């Protein structure tokens, strides 16, 4: 999914609506703070750090929040599969397909920082196999591929 020009408000709205729906079905609490943080995460298709989110939250008219505020909200959103953490960037990004829980795998453009989530069955199969060949089980897998996106290759 590339950025190009698109109505990003729709992206945000869709993400929030999906989240509300999912949490309602699971009977977990999609509170105003958690909703606000999810919106902020979805401010762009680029990953955002916890402290950037804190700054954004402060500029929303609220009084300055402390780090635990944002980390707790992120913990919830990650637990519900609404947000993923990018280990190599210490940053967070909204999941475009939160309905079914999964471990996200990511393509990161080193130039424009756009991140695309992939869900490649054959890749997952190969990860499992590579582990099994060494006698390991594969419970979760973190995959972050850095390269150039379509746009930046030109």
Partner DNA sequence: TTTTTTATGATATGTTATATCTTCTCTTTC
Partner DNA sequence: GAAAGAGAAGATATAACATATCATAAAAAA
Give me the residues that bind a second copy (CB under 8 A), please.
2, 87-88, 105, 107, 109-110, 116, 118, 120, 122-123, 126-127, 129-131, 133-150, 153
CB of 100 to a second copy, least distance (A): 19
Nearer to Zn ion, 11 or 115 (CB): 11
By CB under 5 A, residue 47 contacts Zn ion: no
Number of residues that bind Zn ion (CB under 5 A): 5
Nearer to Zn ion, 35 or 46 (CB): 46
Q: What's the rounded Cα separation, in Å, for the pair 78 and 85?
A: 7
DSSP annotation of 62 reads: S
**What would the x/- binding string for DNA be over residues 33 to 72, using CB under 7 A?**
xx--------------xxxx---------xx-xxxxx-xx
By CB under 7 A, residue 90 contacts DNA: yes
Nearest to 81 by CA among 27, 38, 136, 36: 38
Nearer to Zn ion, 65 or 102 (CB): 102
Nearest to 92 by CA among 110, 109, 104: 104
In this structure, is the dihedral angle defined by the CA atoms of residues 16, 21, 24 and 25, taken in order, positive or negative? negative
Q: What's the rounded Cα separation, in Å, for the pair 100 and 18?
A: 11
């Amino acid at each position: 999914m590339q950025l190009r020009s698109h109505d990003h408000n729709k992206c945000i709205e869709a993400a929030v609506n999906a989240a509300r729906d999912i949490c309602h079905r699971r009977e977990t609490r999609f509170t105003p703070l958690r909703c606000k943080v999810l919106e902020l995460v979805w401010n762009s298709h680029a990953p955002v750090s916890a402290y950037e989110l804190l700054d954004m939250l402060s500029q929303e008219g609220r009084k300055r929040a402390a780090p635990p505020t944002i980390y707790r909200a992120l913990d919830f959103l990650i637990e519900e599969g609404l947000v993923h953490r990018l280990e190599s960037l210490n940053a967070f990004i909204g999941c475009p397909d939160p309905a079914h829980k999964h471990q996200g795998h990511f393509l990161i453009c080193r130039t424009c920082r756009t991140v695309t989530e992939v869900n490649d069955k054959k890749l997952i199969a190969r990860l499992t196999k590579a582990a099994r060949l060494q006698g390991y089980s594969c419970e979760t897998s973190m995959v972050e591929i850095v390269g150039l996106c379509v746009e930046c290759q030109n």
